[in-house]
A and B are shown apart, each in its own frame.
Chain A
Amino acid sequence: EIVLTQSPGTLSLSPGERATLSCRASQSVTSSYLAWYQQKPGQAPRLLIYGTSSRATAIPDRFGGSGSGTDFTLIISRLAPEDFAVYYCQQYDTSPITFGQGTRLEIK
């Protein structure tokens, strides 16, 4: 199965700053079938990005995804207070679908 490794484990930033989250796959995600989710405490994950770079419905354009092969990135251009949460990547290129272990984005 494809193992997704997210880095850093925790990212401490201030509102207004730019956040860069990484997701590295153990083998190539050949069709760019990679998604990103946001999860806040006590809530379900929320889809942000699918197909590496397509924003889900109602997701602000400060969220952007990029990458190919084994290296993928989620960028939040200017952090809003509500963006502090845990972020997970997920590949749906190869069965079984797998998730990363998460990056916690915390307020500095």
Chain B
Amino acid sequence: EVQLVESGGGLVQPGGSLRLSCAASGFTFNNYAMTWVRQAPGKGPVWVSTISGSGSSTNYADSVKGRFIISRDNSKNILYLQVSSLRDEDTAVYYCAKALGHNFLYYMDVWGKGTTVTVSS
């Protein structure tokens, strides 16, 4: 069974940092791009970042560029998102998702249950 399990969320003050993790199982992890998508309370999903299967290519939404870093450890089947310089508007549930498509234009066929990041003083 394909499974994605996120962890690492929590309550953090504005300007703070967290590292989110996503443990993958049930598929050949390094064959697939992976994506982080976030969803603020009561809002629709918003794409955050994508990384290629090898980890050599990444891209980011403008709203997080320079503050968030996506990475992956293919030996451990884990996806990461380092989130820094956090702002109130980064408060959301963060989902990792397995991506299908091409040229960094993906839809997401499997999603984790999410981890919640709350930015508040």
Chain A positions within 8 Å of B, measured between CB atoms, are: 33, 35, 37, 43-47, 50, 56-57, 88, 90, 92-102
Contacts and interface: CB of A to CB of B under 8 A. Distances in A.
B108 interface: yes
Nearest to B110: A47
Given A44-B111, A46-B111, A99 B47 contact: yes
A33 B101 contact: yes
Contact of B106 (A43, A88, A97, A101): A97
A22 B18 CA distance: 38
Contacts of A56: 109
Interface of B: 43-47, 59, 61-62, 95, 100-101, 104-114
B105 A45 contact: no
Given A35-B107, A97-B106, 18 more contacts: A33-B101, A33-B105, A33-B107, A35-B108, A37-B45, A44-B95, A45-B95, A45-B111, A46-B111, A50-B100, A50-B109, A57-B109, A88-B44, A90-B45, A93-B105, A95-B105, A96-B47, A100-B44
B93 to A, nearest CB: 8
Query: 6 tightest CB-CB pairs across the interface, nearest first?
Result: A44-B111, A35-B107, A92-B105, A99-B45, A101-B44, A97-B47
A46 B46 CA distance: 15
Contacts of A90: 45, 107
B34 to A, nearest CB: 14
B97 to A, nearest CB: 8
B61 A96 contact: yes
Contacts of A92: 101, 105-107
Nearest to A98: B47
A1 B121 CA distance: 32
A102 B105 contact: no
Contact of A50 (B43, B45, B107, B111): B107
Q: Which of A33, A95, A97 has the most CB of B within 10 A?
A: A97
